[in-house]
Amino acid sequence: MSEWTKKSNHGLHWGWYRRRDTAKDWRIHLDNYEVCHDIGSEDPQRHLLKFGNEWGHRPFQHPNNLSHQNWHFWDNPEIPQLLWPNPANPMGSKDWIRWVPGEILTTKKTENGASRINDLLKHYSNGRVTAWHDIAPVKPVSFTPSKTMLLVPSSPANYEHYYGTNQARWIEQYSKELRRLGYEVEIRIKRGRKFRKQGNELTDQLNTGKYFGTVSQHSVAAMETIMAGYPAIVTGPHPAGNLATPWQEFADGHTRKPTLIDTINWVETLLGNCRHKSEIFGGTWHV
Ordered by start, the domain boundaries in the chain are: 7-135+269-286, 148-258
pLDDT, one tens digit per residue, over 123-166 is 999 999 999 999 999 999 999 999 999 999 999 999 999 999 99
- CA dihedral over 101, 104, 106, 112, signed as positive or negative: positive
Task: Report pLDDT for 197.
Answer: 60
Q: Can you give the pLDDT at residue 193?
A: 61
Residue 70: alpha-carbon gap to chain centroid:
20
Chain center to CA of 141: 20
The pTM for the full model equals: 0.94
The confidence score (pLDDT) of residue 57 equals: 84
Whole-angstrom Cα distance, residue 35 to residue 16?
Answer: 6
Spans of the chain below 50 pLDDT = none
Task: Please state, in angstroms and rounded to a whole number, the distance separating the CA atoms of residues 278 and 275.
Answer: 8
CATH of domain 148-258: 3.40.50.2300
Q: Closest Cα to residue 79, out of 214, 222, 205?
A: 222
